[in-house]
């Protein structure tokens, strides 16, 4: 579909559901022809259980994509299995980088020490982009409170450089909204949250966060990197703006 038509569709979706709740936005996105065929992309991280639970209630047959970078915390892998089983997710798709790509580009598993962007591209972005070819869009857990780069996030947006949309049902939620939803629905928390990890990625590039620090301060600490790459604009790293 031409990009201008996609932009028009996204604008119409935002106008149509501007005053809806997160659950309502997700419910309609899964059914609205203008949104197309969607998958939920989940890291099974600190706050992921909220959207996973919503999907399980609305339509547990919704495809759920999980990227196993083979550098994740053991706790994340165990949590992923437990949550998927508990919620009855019936179309869980686990992605990996190809063995050949890993052998050619990261044979010693140390690319993250030399070039974190290249490592994220190899282990996360490329497998995800390949998996998303059969979808019209994907659902993310991004929220406005996660930093200035996401402060203007809308429920629906065009994924720059593609013919897909991104759906952000939790865009307007606060940390209190997340906690309340998890508590009211008696959902399991990622075990690393209690150990000071409010944002959880790959083990080599994630550290605990001290009280008062930004929740994402533990991701790629001591660098200006803020995203793994799956939310880059047109595949390029943009440090500022909605998709940074």
> What is the pLDDT confidence band of residue 233, given thresholds at 50, 70 and 90?
very low
Check: CB of residue 200 under 8 Å from CB of residue 76: yes
State residue 219's pLDDT score. Answer: 85
Q: Which residues contact 33 (CB under 8 A, 6 or more apart)?
A: none
**From CA 64, how far away is CA 94, in angstroms rounded?**
8
Q: Which CATH architecture has domain 3-205?
A: 3-Layer(aba) Sandwich (3.40)
Which residues participate in catalysis according to the annotation? 228
Query: Mean pLDDT across the stretch 55-60?
Result: 96
What does the domain layout of the chain look like in residue ranges?
3-205
> What is the pLDDT confidence band of residue 217, given thresholds at 50, 70 and 90?
confident
**From CA 117, how far away is CA 219, in angstroms rounded?**
13
Distances in whole angstroms, Cα of residue 11 to Cα of each of 149, 154, 236: 20, 10, 24
> What is the pLDDT confidence band of residue 232, given thresholds at 50, 70 and 90?
very low
State residue 221's pLDDT score. Answer: 80
């Amino acid at each position: 579909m031409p990009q201008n038509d996609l932009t028009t569709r996204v604008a119409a979706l935002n106008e149509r559901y501007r005053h809806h709740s997160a659950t309502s936005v997700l419910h309609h996105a899964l059914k609205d022809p203008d949104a197309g065929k969607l998958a939920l992309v989940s890291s099974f991280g600190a706050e992921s259980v909220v959207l996973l639970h919503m999907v399980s209630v609305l339509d547990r047959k919704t495809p759920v994509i999980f990227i196993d970078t083979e550098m994740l915390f053991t706790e994340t892998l165990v949590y992923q299995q437990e949550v998927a089983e508990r919620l009855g997710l019936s179309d869980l798709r686990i992605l990996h980088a190809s063995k050949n790509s890993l052998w050619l580009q990261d044979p010693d598993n140390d690319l993250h020490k030399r070039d974190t962007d290249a490592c994220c591209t190899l282990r996360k972005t490329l497998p995800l982009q390949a998996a998303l070819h059969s979808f019209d869009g994907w659902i993310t857990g991004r929220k406005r409170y996660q930093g200035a780069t996401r402060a203007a996030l809308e429920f629906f947006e065009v994924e720059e450089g593609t013919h897909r949309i991104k759906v952000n049902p939790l865009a307007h939620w606060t940390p209190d909204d997340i906690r309340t939803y998890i508590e009211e629905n008696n959902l399991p928390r990622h075990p690393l949250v209690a150990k000071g990890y409010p944002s959880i990625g790959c083990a080599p590039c994630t550290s605990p966060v001290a009280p008062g620090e930004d929740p994402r301060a533990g991701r790629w600490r001591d660098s200006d990197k803020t995203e793994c790459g799956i939310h880059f604009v047109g595949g390029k790293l943009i440090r500022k703006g909605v998709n940074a």
